[in-house]
Amino acid sequence: MAGAYLHIPFCEHICYYCDFNKVFIEGQPVDDYVAMLLKEMRMVMAEHPEEKIQTVYVGGGTPSTLTPTQLATLCQGIHDILHFDQGEFTFEANPNDLLTTEKLQVLHDYGVNRLSIGVQSFNDDVLRRIGRIHRAKDVYTAIANARQVGFDNISIDLIFRLPDQSRDDFLTSLQKALALDLPHYSTYSLILERKTIFYNLMRQGKLRLPTQDVEADMYQDAIDLMEAHGRHQYEISNFAKDGYQCEHNLLYWRNDKYFGFGAGAFGYLGRDRYHNYGPIKQYLTPLHADHLPVLEHHLVPQSEQIEEEMFLGLRTMQGVSEARFYDRYHMTVDAIYGETVPELVSQRLVVRQDGYIRLTNKGKFLGNEVFQRFLIDEPLV
């Protein structure tokens, strides 16, 4: 069993914080891209005829910028090509693409059963400052339309530590988000990535961000408010009602297999990690010549697999299963991290109980520092 991620790189507007592989949709060969994406899927799955797909996630970019006809073609192809039936089928969307029910109806008719909607804030001034083209009122319309069509598994994203954002402003966005009574929420702290407008502004000294203390308060507010509303934290940035965790992302955090299709997509098949060409033309050209658009393959050594098992597992509130670790790597956690884990326990950054190693609340705020402690200096023999 594996997951499948499909990348749709087209956007109507480039947000100031985004470093994902994306291009303006105007003038792009979108129909050809969809056709070649399906061709890539056929070619790859022909090499893995027995592989069943348990989750599908269509991300971007902005997948909802596709026309209803293009969406139907894509979704039909997914069902025709992948061994996928009745699993979690997620589609990312922007609120401004859901102001009518037309695209939503197509997605629902073709079996999409989970929506992830990029909201980011309920403050229109904040939305303008970060380069979003929707406004708060559009979120309410989009959610109402999605529910009218029949979607009940809906998630929205919020970002904190945005320029000139106050703690009270983020708290208001949290409250408005929770008032929608959705089963799933994601909250991310702004990361300044290279090649983004915000990164360039930061280098010029023109970006005023909340302090680290305010950022920590915002994160704690999210944890507290979500829990008070029955949305339990199951990963550092994700909260859900029982039974509504994102199965596709859990697959990543369990370090399980997944296929990556589309421009710039990554796949991970056990020890083989691969990365597709990102630029549209470089992605399409090999496919037109009946070749896969893979830029590079990486044979993942065991030490790197183990590091990722720890990094990814510790992101979840369940933590790293010591039994699963032994089954996968035929050695105990202590055989590799016999000094590291007790040190982190003594520093109250992780706890070890019931066969799991997991972050403490203190550890959640220092996650990257904790993860670095699990880097392996020497190759495993």
Could you read off the pLDDT of 250-261 as tens digits, one per residue?
Answer: 999 999 999 999
Top pLDDT among 163 and 234 is at 234
Q: If you average pLDDT over every residue of the chain, what do you get? A: 94
Could you read off the pLDDT of 320-334 as tens digits, one per residue?
Answer: 999 999 999 999 999
Q: Which of 71, 116, 69, 129 is nearest to 89 (CA)?
A: 116
3-state secondary structure the chain: CEEEEEEECEECCCCCCCCCCCEECCCCCHHHHHHHHHHHHHHHHHCCCCCCEEEEEEEECCHHHCCHHHHHHHHHHHHHHCCEEEEEEEEEECHHHCCCCHHHHHHHHCCCCEEEEEEECCCHHHHHHCCCCCCHHHHHHHHHHHHHHCCCCEEEEEEECCCCCCHHHHHHHHHHHHHCCCCEEEEEECCCCCCCHHHHHHHCCCCCCCCHHHHHHHHHHHHHHHHHCCCEEEECCEEECCCCCCHHHHHHHCCCCEEEECCCCEEEECCEEEEECCCHHHHHHHHHCCCCCEEEEEECCHHHHHHHHHHHHHHECCCEEHHHHHHHHCCCHHHHHCCHHHHHHHCCCEEEECCEEEECHHHHHCHHHHHHCCCCCCCCC
**What pTM was computed for the model?**
0.95
Which residues share a beta bridge with 120? 158
Percent share of the chain, pLDDT over 90: 86
Q: Assign 204 a pLDDT band (cuts: 50, 70, 90).
A: confident
pLDDT at 140 over 80: yes
* pLDDT score of 213: 96
Could you read off the pLDDT of 43-92 as tens digits, one per residue?
Answer: 999 999 999 999 999 999 999 999 999 999 999 999 999 999 889 999 99
pLDDT at 373 over 60: yes
Q: Assign 198 a pLDDT band (cuts: 50, 70, 90).
A: confident
Top pLDDT among 21 and 145 is at 145
Which residues share a beta bridge with 353? 356
Percent share of the chain, pLDDT over 70: 97
Least confident of 25-29, 42-46, 118-122, 230-234: 25-29
Q: Assign 193 a pLDDT band (cuts: 50, 70, 90).
A: confident
pLDDT at 338 over 90: yes
How many of the other CB atoms lie within 10 Å of CB of 3?
25
* pLDDT score of 130: 87
Ordered structural domains, the chain, with CATH: 2-252 (3.20.20.70), 302-372 (1.10.10)
